[in-house]
A = this chain, B = another copy of it.
Amino acid sequence: MDTDKIINFFARDRYAALAGIKILRVEPGYAMVEMEIEDKHLNAADIIQGGAIFTMADFAFAVASNAGGQVTLSVNANITYFKSATGRKLIAEAQEVSGDNKLIGYNVDVTDENNDLTARISIMGYRKKERMPF
């Protein structure tokens, strides 16, 4: 696995780039991404928009689940918000839970600078036959 090629490929995720999300670590079945909280992530109530948290989780899932080289799409996701974030950045870690079938399962934990769990996302993916271009 060539980590730089994977990171370069996912730099093409323009929606994750718009949100300023960066890959910190990646290996097949695992990814850690980071988002520095800025004004642009806030909703009308001045807290982080749910979509920004979800975008991180979806991106971490995409990186982790495709890192092994087989194209994987998200088909379902369930997000539960536990507490408001404290500090200036969020970390999302995606970890494969079950990966033997066409339908695979991932857990993504989003934590804040206090290491408190802000949200947990369960994502179900579908493995296609195509290979990734890296």
Contacts and interface: CB of A to CB of B under 8 A. Distances in A.
A129 interface: no
Interface in A65-124: 71, 73-83, 97-98, 100-101, 103, 105, 107, 117, 120, 122, 124
A98 B117 contact: yes
Contact of A51 (B40, B51, B98, B107): B51
Contacts of A42: 13-15
A18 B40 contact: yes
Contacts of A48: 15
Q: Interface on chain A toward B: helix, strand, loop, or mixed SS? A: mixed
B83 A100 contact: yes
Number of copies: 4
Given A14-B43, A120-B122, A80 B71 contact: no
B75 A78 contact: no
Nearest to A99: B82
A62 B12 CA distance: 30
A103 B83 CA distance: 10
A30 interface: no
A58 interface: yes
A-B pairs, 7 with minimum CB distance = A51-B55, A15-B49, A82-B98, A78-B78, A50-B58, A12-B44, A54-B54
